[in-house]
Homo-oligomer: A and B are copies of this chain.
């Protein structure tokens, strides 16, 4: 008896050299049962990634119905596929070293089976290929010029929607209870929680997301996570771990409001507000005000990192960045100072 970390049975695309470009897993599994794991490994014993024959898929379709009816039905249909089929059976949570594994891990996130930072994505940039994502599917960039000419000669239209290592999420999964107005702006590997609306100006990178329900009209950068009930205003910015945010992982707690065109370079706790148009970086000097709006002290924004019940604004009379707090928040701040 063996229990896998994760399992994916999928259908994908290869380039003309036979290299994997991408794989769709309609029903990925995290921590599949021992029974399911054993059934898979009995048919595909040869390591993490296998390319099952039609016979193997039919064997699985016969073996799985009482263990996992959805996967059994999937195997039956994939047995007839002309496109390449992959089974990925991961024994443990390791960095993804090949394309089918990377796509499985990204789909674990977007199927909400794991949250951002909960599966190891080390080196995923190196593993994924930069591709042309087109209305004729994923195309290797080395083959694009020829495909473009072929389409023109055949009177067809080849449209390139994206040139990137990451495709858009919704061509792999649309999780329940979400709206995403411009799907080009949510990468595969995003976690989009139930009840989340991503408006046209919203954006969610891979390994980042929103717990739901959330209104996302700004940018949730790589690594950033936003708690339930928090809203990211139009054009608002969160500093990602890939660019500018350095080592600090930005997150927002619950019931926060990041105003339109605002930005944060520090993590925030619950019920925080940053007024429209104000960008708080870690080094911003902030005049702390108590619940009666009296000055308490001047601190750097990074000293307030993780605090709750904070309201950041720029005083429109004198230009000073201020943080209104309630008593709880000021005490928290003292605690934070104490641990500096």
Taking Cβ atoms with an 8 Å cutoff, the residues of A that contact B are: 11, 24, 26, 74, 77-78, 80-83, 130, 132, 134-137, 141, 144-145, 148-149, 152-153, 155, 157-166, 168, 170-171, 174, 178-185, 187, 200-201, 203, 215, 217, 219, 221, 231, 233-235, 237, 239, 243-244, 259-263, 265, 275-279, 281, 284-287, 298, 314-321
Contact = CB atoms under 8 A, between A and B. Distances in A.
B160 A183 contact: yes
Contact of A298 (B80, B180, B281, B317): B317
Given A234-B221, A263-B260, A277-B278, A135 B163 contact: no
B163 A170 contact: yes
A77 B201 CA distance: 39
A82 B136 CA distance: 21
Q: Which one of A153, A159, A278 has the greatest number of beta carbons of chain B within 10 Å?
A: A159
A182 B161 CA distance: 6
A94 to B, nearest CB: 26
Top 9 A-B pairs ranked by shortest CB distance?
A319-B319, A277-B279, A160-B170, A237-B260, A316-B321, A276-B279, A285-B316, A137-B157, A182-B184
Contacts of A286: 316
Q: Which one of A136, A284, A287 has the greatest number of beta carbons of chain B within 10 Å?
A: A284
Nearest to A177: B130
Contact of A317 (B82, B215, B285): B285
A179 B201 contact: no
A153 B83 contact: yes
Contacts of A281: 275-276
Given A221-B234, A231-B243, A285-B316, A164 B135 contact: no
24 contacts: A82-B153, A134-B157, A137-B157, A144-B174, A163-B170, A163-B178, A163-B179, A163-B181, A164-B180, A182-B184, A185-B200, A201-B219, A231-B243, A234-B243, A237-B260, A237-B261, A261-B261, A262-B277, A265-B276, A276-B279, A285-B317, A287-B317, A316-B320, A319-B319
Contact of A164 (B181, B184, B215): B181
B152 A83 contact: yes
